[in-house]
Amino acid sequence: MAETKYDVVGIGNAIVDVIARAEDDFLVTEDLVKGSMNLIDEVRADTLYEAMGAATEMSGGSGANTIAGLASFGGRGAFFGKIAEDGLGKVFGHDIRALGVHFETPALTAGPSTARCLVMVTPDGERTMNTFLGACQMLGPNDVDEEIVAQSSILYMEGYLWDPPQAKKAFLHAAKIAKKNGREVALTLSDSFCVDRYRAEFLDLIRSKTVTLLFGNESELHSLYETADTASAMEALEQDCPFAVVTRSEKGATVLKDGKRIDVPAAPVDTVVDLTGAGDLFAAGFLFGHARGMDPEVCAKLGALAAAEVISHIGARPQVSLKDLAAQHGFSV
């Protein structure tokens, strides 16, 4: 790709994760669907927070996690996301800027508070998320800096943005700018429940070639094509999108590009602690490699390495330098 100021600019929900361990019984008591992401209001966020066990607060949000991972590889990232001028907003802004990511979206001085995601991690490492979007819902087209998008090789957006109407407009506005400047537009489907809500619109984004690189896991793909059969879903995806990546948990990932398939195994993990951020960090490694002109197989291997690192500990962002980790595994980044 031609030289640009940024490898990837992400646009997504600026969220602070509140993570706690929980037993399956707790999910039943609170009427939570294991492995799902639920949108909740501020009252529910407060009551659920009170019911949770000891929690850890750390910056999160799907797209932001991906850009944080990109930065850990040594990539040049930028991010658009809406926070409020409050305590959690300061935490989010500090954390992402400390990674070297360009983040200058103006904070809200009035209105809803900074978004938070209450994450329950069960003993099997599965995460159940309950998100109060708060200030995220106020992200709009005016928050998209056209110069930043124009100077980024890839625009990366999360499917969760389709929930708040103004954020959806920001998404489409950013995509138009990227297309006008000959940049690539990537989308992660985010969550099978999210796909259930916006299946037709996501398919239109893909089929209209607004999105030219798609990320999704098996359950999201099943939802997209309304089938329980992964093989038939992949065949349908190949018809709709010339470049896509399907993550398959312990089975690794499959890259679909121009009619060819590349299967890459999952990187080994001693103990799965918390699956939060696995897809986000896979995308980070893949996008880093792709922006730097690496072939799809290497991109997927970098993604698998990053995903393995993040599921080995609590939290959705890497705890070691992914650039150093890649070097230790023989990758020249």
First to last CA, the chain: 16
Q: What is the C-alpha to C-alpha distance for residues 154 and 19, in angstroms, rounded to an integer?
A: 30
Query: Quick one: three-class SS letters along 238-290?
Result: HHHCCEEEEECHHHCEEEEECCEEEEECCCCCCCCCCCCCHHHHHHHHHHHHH
Contact 118, 127 (CB under 8 A): no
Mean pLDDT on 78-90: 95
Residue 27 lies in a domain: no
Residue 198 lies in a domain: yes
Mean pLDDT on 196-218: 96
Residue 42 lies in a domain: no
Q: What percent of the chain has pLDDT over 90?
A: 82
CA nearest to 299, candidates 240, 257, 238, 251: 257
Residue 190 lies in a domain: yes
- Residue that has been written with the tokens 């407060």 in this structure: 46
Residue 139 lies in a domain: yes
Range in 40-44, 156-160, 273-277 with the lowest mean pLDDT: 273-277
H helix intervals, 73-217: 87-98, 146-150, 165-180, 192-207
Q: Kindly state the greatest CA–CA separation across the chain.
A: 53
Which range scores top for mean pLDDT: 94-108, 115-129, 159-173? 94-108
Residue 119 lies in a domain: no
Is pLDDT above 80 for 3? no
Tell me the pLDDT tens digit for each residue of 290-305: 999 999 999 999 999 9
| Bigger pLDDT: 125 vs 232 | 232
At 276, the pLDDT band (50, 70, 90 cuts) reads: confident
Q: What is the C-alpha to C-alpha distance for residues 27 and 24, in angstroms, rounded to an integer?
A: 5
Cβ neighbourhood burial of 109 (10 Å; 0-12, 13-18, 19+): exposed
> pTM score, two decimals?
0.90
Mean pLDDT on 297-319: 93
Q: How many CB atoms lie within 10 A of CB 239?
A: 9
At 266, the pLDDT band (50, 70, 90 cuts) reads: very high
Contact 248, 282 (CB under 8 A): no
Is pLDDT above 90 for 92? yes
Residue 52 is predicted with a pLDDT of 93
**One-letter identity of residue 63:** G
Instruction: Report the number of distinct structural domains present in the chain.
Output: 1
Residue 24 lies in a domain: no
Residue 122 is predicted with a pLDDT of 93
Residue 44 lies in a domain: no
- Residue that has been written with the tokens 């124009």 in this structure: 150
Is pLDDT above 70 for 195? yes
Residue 2 is predicted with a pLDDT of 54
CATH number at residue 252: 3.40.1190.20
| Bigger pLDDT: 78 vs 53 | 78
Residue 58 is predicted with a pLDDT of 85
Residue 191: give the domain boundaries: 6-14+62-112+134-326
Residue 1 is predicted with a pLDDT of 47
Q: Mean pLDDT across the chain, nearest whole number?
A: 94
At 179, the pLDDT band (50, 70, 90 cuts) reads: very high
Q: What is the C-alpha to C-alpha distance for residues 327 and 224, in angstroms, rounded to an integer?
A: 36
At 127, the pLDDT band (50, 70, 90 cuts) reads: confident
Is pLDDT above 90 for 164? no
Contact 259, 112 (CB under 8 A): no
